[in-house]
Amino acid sequence: MTSIAYSVQLQTNPRNFGGCLWNNNSSAKAVYQLNTRFRAAISSRIYCSSAAISVMAEEKREASFDADKAGVIVKELRQQYDSGKTKTYEWRVAQLEGIAKMVDEREKDIIEALNKDLSKPEFEAFVAEINMIKSACKLAIKELKQWMMPEKVKTPLTTFPSSAEIVSEPFGIVLVISTWNYPFLLSIDPVIGAIAAGNAVLLKPSEIAPATSSLIANLFQEYVDSTSIKVVEGAVDETSALLEQKWDKIFYTGSGRVGRIVMAAAAKHLTPVVLELGGKCPVVVDSEVNLQVAARRIIAGKWSCNIGQTCTAADYVITTKDFAPKLIAGLSSELDNFFGKDPLNSKDMSRVVNLYHFRRLVKLMEEDGVSDKIVLGGQTDEMQLKIAPTILVDAPKDSAVMTEEIFGPLLPIVTVEKIEDCFEVIKSKPKPLAAYLFTDNEKLKKAFVKDVSAGGMLINDTILHLTVDALPFGGVGESGMGYYHGKFSFEAFSHKKAVMYRSFDGDSSIRYPPYTLKKLNLLKSLLSGSIMQIIPALLGWSKE
């Protein structure tokens, strides 16, 4: 293993290749092809090693987690919920305070786990995961009493005397299936909403981020009520067994492919779902921009956010043919400032999560008609699972990089004759989770907000709308259904129960048989709401 690792490191760690600008794509292609040959020379040895490790991991696994074991856990959760304790304000606040304490006391452990899983820099781990959870806990604790209060509503004259309210009640027992790109944030954030709403919860973290998954499972045993908030670790077998059970709500974050499986399983029990998926998020860049600021903010929302492994990251850019060279030059300059001339060795850049996704991304670049479209980047390091920020221009419309969600450090640029042509490009694809526009043109801003359908939208920046807890976060169409964040998280896990109160006074014969013309006229007058019609009807005066 040592000699193989040494050989791989020598052959797949390109250094000092630098970046290539718009007019130097031949150099970028040469770098890319060189790396391709290196990867091919060692791929068989890598596969053998990976297979051996996989076999050992399988041998160490415990007995299969089946539907029967999942059923026992669900029964335990149901008993806890039926006891009524999770509905109390005191229980909810105690669990939220426990999570807040957990994050404060175990911050270093969380950062270490995120680094193991994704080589996530400490700064990024704190800002994008730890601080987001702290904020969510703080808000929920502060506002919980207000969220739990029934909402008074008006009642019509036809129900007089009466009053009515909307009562937020927990669904019951809920399943949260998390994902790997933000394995701490996207596990804990929906759980906060489920707890605040008064549910018993089962969390299934992602096995693709094993260090974080294991840490969460251990921490929940210590910091929250583990009889009502449980964690099940595992992969496909465990998830499948859990999905066979009857839940009162399922919250899933991940790919559209698995989202369809989750929804199909939920349909068997008529279980409502929240699906937080993704899609190809467009970034439209007009020529009327501050180029340096626009470039920095695009980079911040693409390569500085988990190297593009973010559901709201820029998936492709649309700009005019005339402006494209300037934009690429601006991005290249700022990328050098952020990550240096050798980005593969930057300590400020995360890595691709695993070998499968690394090779998936490499395959996107290798496709015929795509590799020669690389104008910047293209360097890879399989040992480190790192790919340099890579820009492609006008890749074929039917190529995988233009039809599949990239979820990595590749950024295609689509050029158009005039910026208004962006609408046709965006509408030709499924509705995205997020859409971004950079411009100072007020007319273009209004048209973008009006005509582009997306889960969320941000003008002159990327990603930051996720940090505003007063805004709902969720998809539309193939990018998902349902939403959460802030009070919306509480509502995502709450049933809005309509409650009406009446006394025994004021009982009117108008609603009871025998039905007469007088009763019909009175009913019509009451429904009209006009006092000028109600008085004659009460006196029995006919309209005729």
| Catalytic residue IDs | 276, 311
Cα 333 to Cα 323: distance, rounded to the nearest angstrom: 16
Look up residue 459 and give its two tokens.
């003008």
For residue 186, the one-letter residue type is L
- Structure-token match 């006391």, residue found: 105
Gap between the Cα atoms of 409 and 416, Å rounded: 23
- Burial track 59-88 (b if 16+ CB lie within 10 A, e otherwise): eeeeeebeeeebeebbebbeebbeeebbbe
- Token pair 């489920």 is found at 194
Check: CB of residue 378 under 8 Å from CB of residue 29. yes
Structure tokens at 525: 């007058």
Q: Answer for the pair 421, 268: CB distance below 8 angstroms, yes or no.
A: no
Q: How many CB atoms lie within 10 A of CB 236?
A: 9
Which residues are 251's β-sheet partners? 176, 274
CA quadruple 90, 92, 98, 101: dihedral positive or negative? negative
- Which residues neighbour 33 within 8 Å (Cβ) at sequence distance 6 or greater? 371
Element spanning 438, H or E: strand 434-438
**Residue 229 to residue 187: CA distance in whole angstroms:** 13
Cα–Cα distance, 542 to 519 (Å, whole number)? 11
Give the C-alpha distances (Å, rounded to integers) separating 371 from 17, 39, 307, 396.
Answer: 17, 15, 20, 11
Q: Which whole-number Å values give the CA distances from 388 to 13, 46, 88, 128, 303, in the listed order?
A: 11, 21, 51, 21, 9
Q: Is 440 left (phi over 0), alpha (psi -120 to 50) or beta?
A: alpha
Residue 362 phi/psi, 5-degree rounding, is -60, -40
| Assigned token pair, 310 | 């973010």
Distance CA 258, CA 344 (A): 31
- Helix, strand, or coil here: 352? coil
Dist CA 251 CA 272 (whole Å): 9
Question: How would you classify residue 226: left for phi > 0, otherwise alpha for psi between -120 and 50, otherwise beta?
Answer: alpha
Radius of gyration of the chain (CA): 28
